[in-house]
Homo-oligomer: A and B are copies of this chain.
Amino acid sequence: MSRPNTHASPFHHVKSNKTSQMPLKLERPYNVTVIGSGNWGTTIAKVVAENTREHPSCFAPTVQMWVFEEKIDGKNLTEIINTEHENVKYLPKIKLPENLVANPSLEDSVKGADILIFNIPHQFLPNIVNQLKPHVLPSVRAISCLKGFDVGPKGVQLLTDYITDNLNIQCGALSGANLATEVALEHWSETTVAYNLPFDYRGDGKDVDHRVLKALFHRPYFHVSVIDDVAGVSVAGALKNVVALGCGFVEGLGWGNNASAAIQRIGLGEIIKFGLMFFPESSVETYYKESAGVADLITTCSGGRNVRVAKMMAETGKSAKECEEILLNGQSAQGIITCEEVHEWLTTCDKVDEYPLLEAVYQIVFNNVPMEDIPEMIEELDSLTVFAKSENKPTTETKK
């Protein structure tokens, strides 16, 4: 018996929404395509396909999932998914809905799509977007499940804006406290979807809006809150990985729960500051009230790649690169890329001093600054001047 069944059981009697007035009506069912089929991509495709099948008045039941074709024991991964309804490579042991169709052709998978859901590794986005250009109409709407943003010479750019700029389609974001495997197993969790109605919004029932997105993603085991703040969701999703490295350091040093909680508190503060400084349109509530904010931060800091790499650095003295190779066989911990990008950007705009934790993580990862210095490095500039430095050295007791 596969685990999801035992875990899904509590929700069998649960309805997705409490209120029942004014059911959603659309002029025609929308076609949905998921671009990406990794661990998280396949999980989101499962969620979406369960909903499209349940709501034929809103969505065409069949959901296309673009799969980067590979051979598994001589068989095409797409064939395996379409016959065994399981992504044996990236989401093994999870039964997928039969109306989820794996498609090896990117062009063919988006044919006639009204809604695109991007869920691929960050670094593949430019190439995918280029291939899609000739095949995507401006009337299409999109949701990005990619975490974070790009930092380049022109500053910090949201990946949702990158998609909008390059494909000329409106794009929102989905992010939350969502370890993929737990969602795939239908353990209860929450997520945040952020979407703004475009300038060419076609009107109620004629276009994608918050209610359509709720219908597409909300499940009894996957509770969705839909908001407007795309920037806030993206900033939180990117920076949390840097904070998680900090938690891994103090965990590896054996400093315990108080220290890890302190890193998360300071991290949340710097995430909010970064968001309000560089994306003034983002709302402080998103960071402390939404799943994509504080909850995703907590989940990410409780485990996962970034924590594991940083912890190993603390325990072994090995470099980030070495630890990544040992733990992630070639893959990378996103927080390491992000902390470097953020450092470069903050240096460009001379704001490094205002983000002591983000900078401390960068200095530890890239300049071998001892991680024992974290408390001193992140101690906030303090309006409460009390003693001359010399006067408050630790006591002999604490030295003994």
Interface residues of A (CB under 8 A from B): 4-5, 7-12, 14-24, 50, 53-55, 95, 97, 177-179, 182-183, 186-190, 210-211, 214-215, 218-221, 223, 225-226, 250, 253-262, 264-265, 268-269, 287-291, 293-296, 298-299, 302-303, 372-376, 379-382, 384-395, 397-400
Contacts and interface: CB of A to CB of B under 8 A. Distances in A.
Contact of A375 (B4, B11, B261, B399): B11
Contacts of A95: 397, 400
A19 B394 contact: no
A398 B55 contact: no
Contacts of A14: 375-376, 394
Contact of A299 (B16, B257, B386): B257
Counted per complex, copies of this chain come to: 2
A302 B262 CA distance: 13
Given A177-B257, A188-B375, A299-B257, A16 B386 contact: yes
B395 A50 contact: yes
30 contacts: A8-B398, A8-B399, A10-B253, A10-B375, A11-B394, A11-B398, A12-B393, A12-B394, A17-B389, A17-B392, A24-B385, A95-B400, A177-B261, A177-B262, A182-B258, A188-B255, A188-B259, A189-B261, A210-B384, A211-B384, A211-B386, A214-B384, A220-B394, A258-B299, A261-B291, A261-B298, A268-B288, A268-B289, A288-B288, A302-B302
A21 B382 CA distance: 12
A81 to B, nearest CB: 15
B11 A389 contact: no
A54 B379 contact: no
A16 B380 CA distance: 11
A260 B97 CA distance: 27
A391 B171 CA distance: 28
Nearest to A8: B398
A259 B21 CA distance: 29
Contacts of A215: 386-387
Contact of A17 (B5, B178, B373, B387): B387
Contacts of A220: 375, 392, 394, 398
Nearest to A19: B385
Contact of A288 (B9, B190, B294, B373): B294
Contacts of A298: 257, 260-261, 264-265, 298
A177 B298 CA distance: 14
A258 B19 contact: no
B250 A265 contact: no
Given A15-B392, A16-B387, A388-B20, A186 B257 contact: no
Nearest to A269: B289
Given A375-B11, A391-B55, A394-B11, A262 B295 contact: yes
Contacts of A186: 398
B303 A291 contact: no
Q: Which 3 A-B pairs have the closest CB atoms?
A: A189-B258, A10-B372, A265-B295
Given A17-B386, A389-B20, A177 B258 contact: yes
